[in-house]
């Protein structure tokens, strides 16, 4: 593949996306986080220089995208928010927010047919490069481990300790970040919160929730809590704070 990595500021407007990128890449319920529903358009519109595409010259289409926002962090692990993605995005647009000191990754998406070819590493490196271009030398990331959904009953604190015989992380996404020099700093136990009526949760998951309790649903990293009496479902997703060394 002959690839380019332009920012949205450098190449604004609508671009042709691979068919697999036009489809939803996350479980349906992940598109109903109230914080991101309220603020993600501002993330895209106001921080265009921190978002980039992967443009395939041969196919003449976009096969990947990376999103990040400038953030304030003092370098102390304790000050990384338990709220992860939601907290970082809210802080970005809070009145009187301090000047950013780091770049915070939000997501990297890749067309399925282009995965397992080393592209994810190149995209993380490109994200870090964009940060350095703007004086933000450290990249931090609330990472969503991409195999955790297979082990929804295992606490994240245990999952991140699982290693392969060669000593590398069992989880491929954690492993990719680690190979680029990133270190796990802490778990973000409430990185995204998705509340909703039980009926909506049944629609999003194509499941039935007959009684109050915790349910394992496809794509979720931890169980979803259903309260029939209050007509409420709540998903609170943990992520993993990783810090890349300053370039």
Q: Is residue 92 part of a domain?
A: yes
**Residue-wise pLDDT tens digits, 113-141:** 888 788 999 999 999 999 999 999 999 99
Six-digit token pair at 247? 């370039």
Tokens describing residue 127: 């994200």
82 in a domain, yes or no? yes
Structural domain including 184 reads: 3-188
C-alpha span between 31 and 37 (Å, rounded): 8
**Confidence (pLDDT) at 97:** 85
Whether 38 maps to a domain, the answer reads yes
Listed residue (86, 91, 92, 85) closest to 108, CA to CA: 85
Average pLDDT, the chain: 93
Residue 22 in tokens: 């036009």
Q: Per residue in 161-184, pLDDT tens? A: 999 999 999 999 999 999 999 999
Q: Look up the pTM and report it.
A: 0.93
In a domain, 178, yes or no: yes
CATH number at residue 110: 3.40.630.30
pLDDT at residue 96 tops 90? no
Q: What is the DSSP string of the chain?
A: --EE--BTTTS-S---B-HHHHS--S-GGGGG-HHHHHHHHHHHHH-GGG-EEEEETTTTEEEEEEEEEEE---S-GGGS-TTHHHHHHHHHTSTTPPPP-EEEEEEEEE-GGG-SSSHHHHHHHHHHHHHHHTT---EEEEE--TTGGG-TTS-HHHHTT-B-TTSSBSSHHHHHHHHTT-EEEEEEEEEEEEEE-HHHHHHHHT----SSEEE--TT-SSPEEEETTTTEEEEEEEEEEEEPPP-
Q: Is residue 136 part of a domain?
A: yes
**Does 202 map to a domain?**
no
Confidence of residue 22 (pLDDT cuts 50, 70, 90): low
204 falls within a domain? no
How many independent structural domains does the chain possess?
1
């Amino acid at each position: 593949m002959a690839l380019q990595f332009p920012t949205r500021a450098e190449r604004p407007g609508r671009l042709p996306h691979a068919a697999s990128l036009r489809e939803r890449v996350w479980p349906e319920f992940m598109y109903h986080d109230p914080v991101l529903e309220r603020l993600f358009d501002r993330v895209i519109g106001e921080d265009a220089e921190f978002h980039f595409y992967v443009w395939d010259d041969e196919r003449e289409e976009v096969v990947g995208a990376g999103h990040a926002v400038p953030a304030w962090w003092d370098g102390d692990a304790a000050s990384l928010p338990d709220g992860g993605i939601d907290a970082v995005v809210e802080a970005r647009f809070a009145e009187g927010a301090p000047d950013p000191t780091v770049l915070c990754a939000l997501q990297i998406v890749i067309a399925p047919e282009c995965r397992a070819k080393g592209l994810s590493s190149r995209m993380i490196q490109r994200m870090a490069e964009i940060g350095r271009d703007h004086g933000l030398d450290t990249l931090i990331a609330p990472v969503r481990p991409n195999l955790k959904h297979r082990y929804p009953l295992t606490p994240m604190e245990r999952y991140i300790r699982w290693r392969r015989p060669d000593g590398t992380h069992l989880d491929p996404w954690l492993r990719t970040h680690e190979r680029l020099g990133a270190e796990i700093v802490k778990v973000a136990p409430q990185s995204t919160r998705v509340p909703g009526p039980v009926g909506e949760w049944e629609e999003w998951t194509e499941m039935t929730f007959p009684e109050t309790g915790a349910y394992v649903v496809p794509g979720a990293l931890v169980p979803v809590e259903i309260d029939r009496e209050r007509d409420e479902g709540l998903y609170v997703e943990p992520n993993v704070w990783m810090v890349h060394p300053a370039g």
